[in-house]
C-alpha cells in the first residue's frame, strides 16, 4: 500500500542528517501546499513540528460501534470518485462485524441518471450478498419509496456523480437529504474524496457543503495516489473527519479510520 512508500522515504531521509531542503522536497512530493510547508519548516525542529501538526489535524478515530448509531448513510461526491464501490465495501465491512443480520441492510440505488449505474451497483452488491433497492424515477422519490417500505433497516444511499457546476443535480441531492429527514432517519452524510484528486477538491467540497451538511469523508484510491497532502488541507479547512479509507479495487480493501494506525505510518525511528 501507499504508506509503505512514505515510510520508506522517511527511513531513507533519516539514514543521514536530513536537511530542511530535503524535507521540503519530501513534503512537496507528497503534495502539501507551499503555505503548509512554509509553516512546518520555519521551525528548527521541523520533524517534530510536522508530526505534531498531523496529530493536531487528525483529532478523530472511529470504531464500528460509532457507525451503528446511525441508520442512514448518504454517499455523495463527484463522478468517478468511488461512491458506488465504496458504498458496497463499507456496507460489507459493517455486515462482516456480525452485529446485524444481513436482511437489515439495504443499499438504495439513487443514481438513476447514468445508464449502467444500477447494473454496476447490483453486480457489486451481489458479490457480497447484500440486498439492493433499484427503481426507476427521480432519485428523491426512489429514496422516499425505499424508506417507506424499509423503516427498520440500515440504509445506504448511492447517489449519482455531481459536477459542482450542475445546480439542479445538487438540489436533487439536497431533496434526498430532506426525504431522509422527513422519515426521521439518523443520517451520516459521507463525502467521497478521491485521493488522486488534488487541491481542486477544496473548492468542490465547499460547493457541496453549500447545499447540504457533510459529516465527514470517505477517502478512496489511496493505493494509487502519490500526492495526499491536499487531504490534510481539506481536513484543516472544513474540520471534517475521515470515516474510512479505501485502498484497492477488491471489496475488502477498506478500513475504518483509526488515528493511531494512520499516524504510525509517519513515524520511523528517529523522527520522534
Binding stretches for ligand GDP (CB under 6 A) = 79-86, 161, 192, 220-221, 223-224, 246-249
* CA distance linking residue 163 with residue 6, whole number of Å: 32
Query: From the CB of residue 272, how many other CB atoms can be counted at a distance below 10 Å?
Result: 9
CB 227 within 8 A of CB 30: yes
Q: How many residues are present in the chain?
A: 272
Farthest CA pair distance, the chain: 64
Q: Is 246 in the site for Mg ion (CB under 5 A)?
A: no
Cell numbers representing residue 259 in the block: 488515528
Residue number with CB closer to Mg ion (83 or 153): 83
* CA distance linking residue 33 with residue 101, whole number of Å: 45
Q: Which does 225 bind (CB under 5 to 8 A by kind): Mg ion, ligand GDP, none?
A: none
Shortest Å distance, C-beta 149 to ligand GDP: 24
Shortest Å distance, C-beta 75 to ligand GDP: 8
Using CB atoms, what's the residue nearest to Mg ion? 84
Q: Is 84 in the site for Mg ion (CB under 5 A)?
A: yes
Q: Which does 248 bind (CB under 5 to 8 A by kind): ligand GDP, Mg ion, none?
A: ligand GDP
* DSSP-H helix ranges across 30-109: 34-41, 46-57, 64-67, 83-96
Residues 17-46, one symbol each (x = binds Mg ion by CB under 5 A, - = not), give: ------------------------------
Q: CB neighbours of 103 closer than 8 A, spacing ≥ 6?
A: 131
Shortest Å distance, C-beta 211 to Mg ion: 18
Shortest Å distance, C-beta 121 to ligand GDP: 8
Q: Which does 185 bind (CB under 5 to 8 A by kind): Mg ion, ligand GDP, none?
A: none
Shortest Å distance, C-beta 146 to ligand GDP: 18
Per CB under 5 A, the segment of 81-89, 145-153, 207-215, 255-263 that binds Mg ion is: 81-89
CA 248 from centroid of its chain's CA atoms: 13
113-124 burial, b for 16+ CB within 10 Å, e for fewer?
eeeebbebbeeb
**Residues lying near Mg ion in the complex (CB under 5 A):** 83-84
Amino acid at each position: 500500500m501507499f504508506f509503505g512508500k512514505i515510510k520508506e522515504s522517511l527511513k531513507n531521509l533519516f539514514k543521514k542528517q536530513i536537511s530542511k531542503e530535503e524535507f521540503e522536497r519530501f513534503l512537496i512530493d507528497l503534495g502539501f501546499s507551499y503555505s503548509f510547508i512554509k509553516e512546518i519548516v520555519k521551525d528548527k525542529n521541523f520533524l517534530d513540528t510536522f508530526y505534531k501538526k498531523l496529530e493536531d489535524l487528525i483529532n478523530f478515530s472511529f470504531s464500528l460501534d460509532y457507525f451503528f448509531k446511525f441508520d442512514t448513510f448518504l454517499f455523495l461526491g463527484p463522478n468517478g470518485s468511488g461512491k458506488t464501490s465504496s458504498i458496497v465495501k463499507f456496507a460489507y465491512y459493517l455486515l462482516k462485524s456480525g452485529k446485524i443480520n444481513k436482511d437489515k441492510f439495504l443499499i438504495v440505488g439513487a443514481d438513476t441518471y447514468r445508464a449502467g449505474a444500477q447494473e454496476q451497483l447490483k453486480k457489486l452488491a451481489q458479490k457480497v450478498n447484500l440486498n439492493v433497492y433499484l427503481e426507476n424515477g427521480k432519485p428523491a422519490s426512489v429514496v422516499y419509496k425505499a424508506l417507506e417500505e424499509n423503516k427498520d433497516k440500515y440504509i445506504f444511499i448511492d447517489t449519482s456523480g455531481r459536477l459542482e457546476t450542475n445546480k439542479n443535480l445538487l438540489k436533487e441531492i439536497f431533496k434526498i437529504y430532506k426525504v431522509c429527514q422527513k422519515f426521521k432517519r439518523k443520517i451520516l452524510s459521507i463525502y467521497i474524496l478521491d485521493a488522486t484528486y488534488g487541491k481542486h477538491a477544496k473548492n468542490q467540497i465547499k460547493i457541496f457543503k453549500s447545499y447540504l451538511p457533510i459529516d465527514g469523508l470517505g477517502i478512496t484510491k489511496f493505493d494509487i495516489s502519490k500526492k495526499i497532502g491536499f487531504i490534510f488541507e481539506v481536513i484543516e479547512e472544513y474540520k471534517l473527519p475521515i470515516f474510512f479509507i479505501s485502498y484497492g479495487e477488491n471489496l475488502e480493501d477498506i478500513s475504518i479510520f483509526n488515528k493511531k494506525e494512520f499516524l504510525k505510518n509517519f513515524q520511523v525511528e528517529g523522527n520522534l
